[in-house]
């Protein structure tokens, strides 16, 4: 329905059925509020996260997260972009060079923009207060971050 159809519908509902118009406007307001707020998980992603653990599985399925010393951080912004003080195109736990890119809350992916080679998106999930990045590897390759 185009804008003209929308205005005709409002006129129709307003002209003939005032109570129905109120219900329609409340419903419309509720839809707009739901769309503009996003999910709690998406809002929880915004901010700065620090790398604390890493998982590299050798192929036997017995890999577990292990604590690692790292100063690597990722900051997520509400405009769908992120910045890191470490390279994001491969699974490094060191700082430098800066990693930049975009993320999709809908698909739960990060797409670094400053890679020398084209890479597949990095999948993420926010689980039990941690951000887990899953890099494209044959075996599981993941990093776990905590919000700071």
Instruction: Give the pLDDT of residue 27.
Output: 41
Instruction: Give the pLDDT of residue 48.
Output: 98
pTM of the model: 0.71
Instruction: Give the pLDDT of residue 91.
Output: 93
Instruction: Give the pLDDT of residue 130.
Output: 97
pLDDT at 11 over 70: no
For residue range 13-63, list pLDDT tens digits in order.
555 555 655 554 444 434 343 444 445 556 889 999 999 999 988 888 889
Nearest in space to 68 (alpha carbons), one of 58, 57, 78, 55: 55
For residue range 91-112, list pLDDT tens digits in order.
999 999 999 999 999 999 999 9
User: Angle at CA 103, nearest 5°, toward 102 and 108?
Assistant: 160
64-68 contacts: CB < 8 A, separation 24 or more? Answer: 65/142, 65/144, 68/93
For residue range 70-95, list pLDDT tens digits in order.
999 999 999 999 999 999 999 999 99
């Amino acid at each position: 329905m185009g804008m003209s159809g929308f205005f005709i519908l409002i006129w129709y509902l307003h002209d003939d059925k005032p109570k129905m118009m109120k219900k329609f406007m409340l419903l419309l307001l509720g839809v707009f509020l739901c769309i503009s707020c996003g999910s709690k998980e998406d809002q929880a992603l915004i901010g700065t996260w620090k790398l604390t653990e890493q998982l590299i599985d050798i192929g036997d399925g017995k890999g577990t997260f292990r604590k690692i010393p790292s100063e690597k951080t990722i900051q997520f912004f509400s405009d769908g972009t992120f910045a890191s003080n470490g390279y994001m195109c491969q699974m490094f736990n060191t700082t430098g060079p800066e990693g930049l890119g975009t993320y999709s809350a809908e698909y739960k992916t990060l797409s670094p923009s400053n890679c020398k080679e084209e890479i597949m998106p990095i999948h993420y999930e926010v689980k039990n207060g941690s951000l887990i990045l899953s890099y494209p590897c044959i075996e599981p390759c993941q990093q776990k971050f905590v919000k700071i």
